[in-house]
Amino acid sequence: MNTHQNKVVEFEDLGINDYQSSWDYQEKLMKEIIDTKIKNRDLPTEEHLTTPNHFLLVEHPHVYTLGKSGHEENMLAGIDKLKEIEATFVKVNRGGDITYHGFGQIVGYPILDLENFFTDIHKYMRNLEEVIIRTIAEYGLQGERSPGETGVWLDVGKPYARKICAMGVKASRWVTLHGFALNVNTDMRYFEYIIPCGIKDKQVTSIKRELERDLTAGEMEDIKMKIQKHFADVFEAELVSK
């Protein structure tokens, strides 16, 4: 366990950024944290360097990503269709199956050294869900967890249960990668080309669809602010803008 627990999290809003460069950036931040942890192994405890934590928010242009445990047959669109809808397809090293990212969706990537917080991946996932549950509650939406499935759902246990936020994470030496994707103003037609998360009988939704109106650019920024606030509360962290 890290005896120099650092609860400060550097926050960055990357705006609109393509998936690959965001992934490369996450991996760079993760490597820096892991390199510090490896260095600490050779130092006496009192000389241990503190490891940083990061939290990125971003919107991606249309992209489908397939996790390492995923099945390619859940990607229903071929190369020609992907070109037509201006989307790309990327295989990634997170858990989970196929998911979609696109404009109007807020994607969050916490790159945390969990030894600064708690060493429990299950708790980490539940905390991420809690951040989103609290955020969408401010818009009158009751987010829930669905037993055996990650992410945040509405009307769990009912025939019209639907997922509003997908999650997929990876951890190495207790450092996290990937995160969540909250559908806000998302164009839901893009989900028609995949079996989301490999779950055939469940629907997906967005804040826009639930409120039956477009959210303004100002409201998108408000949601990002709310996510930051709830993230700081749930993880008992201090967010500082980079």
Task: Assess contact for 144 and 153: CB atoms under 8 A.
Answer: yes
**In the numeric block, which tokens belong to residue 212?**
């039956």
Tell me if 241 is assigned to some domain.
Answer: no
Q: Residue 223 is part of which domain span? A: 9-61+104-179+201-235
Task: Assess contact for 213 and 101: CB atoms under 8 A.
Answer: no
Q: Please tell me the predicted confidence (pLDDT) of residue 201.
A: 60
| 72 vs 16 pLDDT, higher one | 16
Tell me if 36 is assigned to some domain.
Answer: yes
pTM beyond 0.85: yes
Tell me if 18 is assigned to some domain.
Answer: yes
- Is 126 labeled as ligand-binding? no
Is 165 assigned a catalytic role?
A: no
| Domain total of the chain | 1
| 67 vs 64 pLDDT, higher one | 64
CA 56 to chain centre: 9
- Is 102 labeled as ligand-binding? no
Tell me if 38 is assigned to some domain.
Answer: yes
Task: Assess contact for 238 and 52: CB atoms under 8 A.
Answer: no
- Is 181 labeled as ligand-binding? yes
Q: State the pLDDT confidence band at 1, using cuts at 50, 70 and 90.
A: very low
Tell me if 213 is assigned to some domain.
Answer: yes
Tell me if 75 is assigned to some domain.
Answer: no
- Is 11 labeled as ligand-binding? no
Q: Please tell me the predicted confidence (pLDDT) of residue 50.
A: 94
pLDDT tens digit sequence for 106-163? 999 999 999 999 999 999 999 999 999 999 999 999 999 999 888 999 999 999 999 9
Tell me if 144 is assigned to some domain.
Answer: yes
pLDDT tens digit sequence for 23-44? 999 999 999 999 999 999 999 9
Largest CA distance in the chain: 58
- Is 97 labeled as ligand-binding? yes
Tell me if 96 is assigned to some domain.
Answer: no
Which of 66, 184, 197, 207 is labelled catalytic? 197
Distance CA 82, CA 76 (A): 10
Question: Residue range 59-87: average pLDDT?
Answer: 87
> For position 214, which CATH number holds?
3.30.930.10
